[in-house]
Chain A
Amino acid sequence: MIEEVFNVNLPVNETLTLRRNRFSPEDISTSTKRISIVTGTHGDEIEGQYVCYLLAKWLNANKHCIKGIVDIYPAMNPMGIDSITRGFPFYDVDLNRNFPGNTSDFLPSQVANAIVDTVRGSDFAIDIHASNIFLRELPQVRISRSTADELIPLAEKLDIEFIWVHDAVTVLESTFAHAMNSIGTKTLVVEMGVGMRITKEYGQSLTKGILNLLAHVGIIERAVLPTTKTTVSNLHSEVFFVNASKSGIFIPILEHNVTVLKGEKLGEIIDPLSGRILETLISPCNGLLFTIREYPVVYEGSLLARILEDPKEDTAL
């Protein structure tokens, strides 16, 4: 059932509406589990749109399997999505830095507050992001170290390529995921693909993973499949960042999702004016190339690649 969860009037003959599609079983009790699938907070990230579609399509076709509540929210930032605007249009702020929001603050903060209010009470939530227009990401779940014990077992059910456990950062306390985790909704952040594009295989694979998670927690009735893909970055492996030290045009040599060796060439920064190579980027470690620069123009400092180092063998015991 499609429901409106928030409405606000815009100045010229338009209402901004947040919508969700709710799938629920015939009878609901207090023990009925509920999950919210949320995406479209950053208007330039479109990968989640396809996942929402595939999921809703599956649920439409398999109503008899639905034992819990599935809420799908494809567009948390409707004006942003419809205009390739990452932030909240007009206010030019990142909606995902304005949680939990506040009813007496500016509109983005009110929208954040409305999202928290409507998702509140869900047992689980999955917040799907698509990196940005600059970087292409292998599908991954990002988890703050402070919630790792609770969330890793759940994330593993998504059968996703990679779970990145990162250190807690204070500024990330203003994200949707942090706001929901702190009020008891176990919330996973998925990053995959690249901004402004849909990577069909990722969408299909994440949808399968979400259905698997739903089966695991009893929201749909379906066999739980064994998971095969996941590696977890934890104390035994490190993520290396490769940033540009020159400004220019980045030409990658490797595709992402490949294993690289220390010293292997990742790409070059070239200068179109002089015809010279300004910098050759080299892998700092052996590992999985899970992030690669997609947008060619770079400044000094621009992130070009991230590599998950192979687990160190000498860390046993």
Chain B
Amino acid sequence: MKEEVLFEISSLSRNPLKVKGFRFGREGTTPSCVIVGPMMGTAIDQLWIASQLVRFLRQHELANAAFVKGEILVIPTVNPYSFNMGKNFWPLDNTDIDVMFPGYDKGETTQRIAARLFEKTNNYDYAILLEARKDHVECIPYVEVLESGMNYIEDARAFGLDFIHVKEETPNDTVSLTYNWNVWNAKAFSLISGKKGILHKHEANKVFDAIVRFLVKKELIDFSTFEGSHGNLVMPNDIEAIKSSAAGLFDTLANIGDSVVHGQPLARIFNSLDGTLIQTIISPCDGIISCRYDYSLIFQNAIAYRIVKVESAQNTL
């Protein structure tokens, strides 16, 4: 293992922000894989996953010098500054690094961070980004592939996670890291899981296992793991978004990963002053809860749950 400072950004009063990379195997060999941890300073699950991965790879490489067959680079996070303040985005201007790609080395600070990260990561066969969802939800672990990555969707199965979401591309996606990896011909995947601000070890460890499985299947490491799931393809229309019709205290009755049936109560919303039950949210379909709103006060018309509809099961070939 080689521990490197990939780049630095200085600050007026803080110590410089140092972005560290942990390199395994031999630089410049194939197959190669880069794994980038969270850009958002509250994605603690993802920091856990990335750091545990460094630990795992280091221990095995120490025991067996040929453990890593190509090259693996792990960058646990590019944003220690925000982690150290409990902030999602860049401390000074609240910009999201993940909307700055491919970056611009003569531009704004976060464009420069993006440019430097991109330069260090755009030359790998496989590129994996660890993300928490940016909205107020917790979700089961899933692989996300952009529409432009449909040609390598089969590779996403190597993670062995239950669901592979195909994301419809919007103008906002053109400035994301995974989109730009795609443009540079890496097979790019986002692994999304958990909930911001808290360590969900159970979900996080599933993602960790998925990455190890992927590295095994892609012959990047000399190791064996259990088979995972075959992977269900989830297209944008396969998700049912279930909204609250009332605002108030949100009392959830169902968990992420639960199988639910049409008509099943999922949550209750109570008036936050007089305690009146104002809505019982009912599942409109059969399926599995992939995402749940994660805050106990809910707005009217907020998305309370996302359910992968059972009828989408036919997508799996």
Which residues does A use to contact B, with CB under 8 Å? 8-13, 86-87, 90-93, 97, 104-107, 110, 132, 134, 170-174, 241, 243, 246-249, 297-303
CB distance from B42 to the nearest CB of A (A): 10
Mark the stretch among B45-53, B104-112, B149-157, B204-212 that contacts chain A. Answer: B104-112
- Find chain B residues with CB under 8 A from A93 CB: 134
Q: How far is the CA of A170 from the CA of B174 in the complex (A)?
A: 7
Instruction: Supply 20 further A-B pairs (C-beta < 8 A) apart from A9-B300, A10-B299, A170-B171.
Output: A11-B247, A12-B273, A86-B94, A90-B299, A93-B134, A105-B303, A106-B135, A106-B136, A134-B93, A171-B99, A247-B12, A297-B12, A299-B10, A299-B11, A299-B92, A301-B9, A301-B107, A301-B110, A301-B111, A303-B108
* Inter-chain contact A87/B112, CB cutoff 8 Å: no
Please determine whether A91 and B135 come into contact, CB atoms closer than 8 angstroms. yes
B235 to A: closest C-beta gap in Å: 16
18 A-B pairs in the complex with CB atoms less than 8 angstroms apart: A9-B247, A9-B299, A11-B248, A12-B248, A13-B272, A13-B273, A86-B94, A97-B172, A104-B243, A106-B135, A170-B174, A170-B175, A171-B172, A246-B10, A297-B92, A299-B9, A299-B11, A302-B108
Residues of B within 8 A of A249 (CB): 12
**Are A107 and B299 in touch, CB under 8 angstroms?**
yes
- Our pick among B109, B248, B272 for the contact of A299 (Cβ within 8 Å) is B109
B5 part of interface (Cβ distance < 8 Å)? no
B298: interface (CB < 8 Å): yes
* CB-defined contacts of A104 to chain B, threshold 8 Å: 241, 243, 303
Mark each residue of chain B from 130 to 168: 1 if its CB lies under 8 Å from any CB of chain A, else 0.
000011100000000000000000000000000000000
Within the complex, the shortest CB–CB distance from A17 to chain B, in Å, comes to: 12
User: Smallest distance from the beta carbon of B273 to chain A beta carbons, Å?
Assistant: 6
**Once the chains are docked, how many angstroms separate the CA of A10 from the CA of B302?**
10
Who on chain A is nearest to B241 by CB?
A104
Asked whether any CB of chain A lies closer than 8 Å to the CB of B297, the reply is: yes
- Contacts of B12 on A, CB cut-off 8 Å? 247-249, 297-299
Cβ A243 vs Cβ B106 within 8 A: yes
Q: Which residue of A lies closest to B248 (CB)?
A: A11
Closest residue of chain B to A271 (Cβ to Cβ) is B12
* Top-7 shortest CB links A-B: A301-B109, A11-B297, A9-B247, A173-B171, A9-B300, A299-B109, A247-B10
- From residue 191 to 234 of chain B, which have CB atoms closer than 8 A to chain A? none
- Who on chain A is nearest to B134 by CB? A93
Question: Would you give the shortest CB distance from A140 to chain B, in whole angstroms?
Answer: 19
Query: Which residue in A92, A110, A134, A300 is a CB contact (below 8 Å) of B9?
Result: A300
Given A86-B94, A300-B112, also A110-B301 (CB < 8 A) = yes
B245 CB to closest chain A CB (Å) equals 9
Closest to B296 in A: A11
**B84-118 residues at the A interface, CB under 8 angstroms:** 88-89, 92-94, 99, 106-112
Nearest Cβ on chain B to A109's Cβ, whole angstroms: 10
CA distance A92 to B94 in the complex (A): 9
A170 / chain B contacts, CB cutoff of 8 Å: 171, 174-175
> Known interface pairs A86-B94, A171-B99. Does A300 touch B109 (Cβ–Cβ under 8 Å)?
yes
Nearest CB in chain B: distance from A236 CB, A: 23
Contact with A along B255-274 (1 / 0, CB 8 A): 00000000000000000110
Bound: A286/B172 CA distance, A: 35
Say how far A149's CB is from chain B's closest CB, in angstroms. Answer: 22
Partner of B299, one of A8, A173, A297: A8
Find chain A residues with CB under 8 A from B299 CB: 8-11, 90, 107
A90 with B136, Cβ < 8 A, contacts A9-B299, A12-B273, A246-B10 known:
yes
In the complex, which residues of chain A have a beta carbon less than 8 angstroms from the beta carbon of B109? 299-302
CB of B128 closer than 8 Å to a CB of A: no
Q: In the complex, A13 Cα to B270 Cα: how many Å? A: 12
Chain B window 44-75, contacts with chain A (Cβ cutoff 8 Å), 1 for yes, 0 for no: 00000000000000000000000000000000
Whether B246 sits at the interface, judged by CB under 8 Å, is: yes
